[in-house]
Structure 1
């Protein structure tokens, strides 16, 4: 994040920490997906900050609807997205990270923060962890 400046990096980190606190407070029920509400709203310039940090190249295209990230380390997570034609698309972590620049802001924040939290707590399937680590190495 050095290329976006100290103030911008601090604001981006503060928001990601806020989402992390929110994720830890979400009540998860077995077999249920976590949904976006009431995901903390990102700062107005969140997409710009992510773009300047080299994490995204454009916004829009896919709406995040929910996921099972962190639910189980024994099963790969799935992520539900809706496209412009209102079709539900269920993808793997690897596929979602490949489409990351097309996912809405709240979805991006939820996916990355959820993956970080699950990786730290050992609740991420090994395939998902590998995909996330590869993505982080290139987009970090």
Structure 2
């Protein structure tokens, strides 16, 4: 995977988005972060983008209007969005949801960290392993 330059973050919790942005920017300030409050908004934003070849999508599982699984399912049926690398975040570790997310094409599924150190570690992993930044 080529180095990620844009991260699309969909989460209805403004505090969670803020903490995620702070952690990502602490690791790599050059990554552009595009926020959405729900899956419908994310799909609209993605469809308006002209270049999507160097991005990573982070989806919260529980969002209003369109949850993470519904969003992932919709991403996979839109040809130009179908292959975008996507990971899921949730407060739930329900094995059935994890399995279903992976069957829908999620690269991985993570439990939301409960403290900033764990969030930094998760973001470091996402940026180095899922977004193509091996030097992070």
Using the size of structure 1 for normalisation, the TM-score is: 0.32
- Name the one with the larger helix percent: 1
- Name the one with the larger strand percent: 2
Using the size of structure 2 for normalisation, the TM-score is: 0.33
Larger Rg: 1
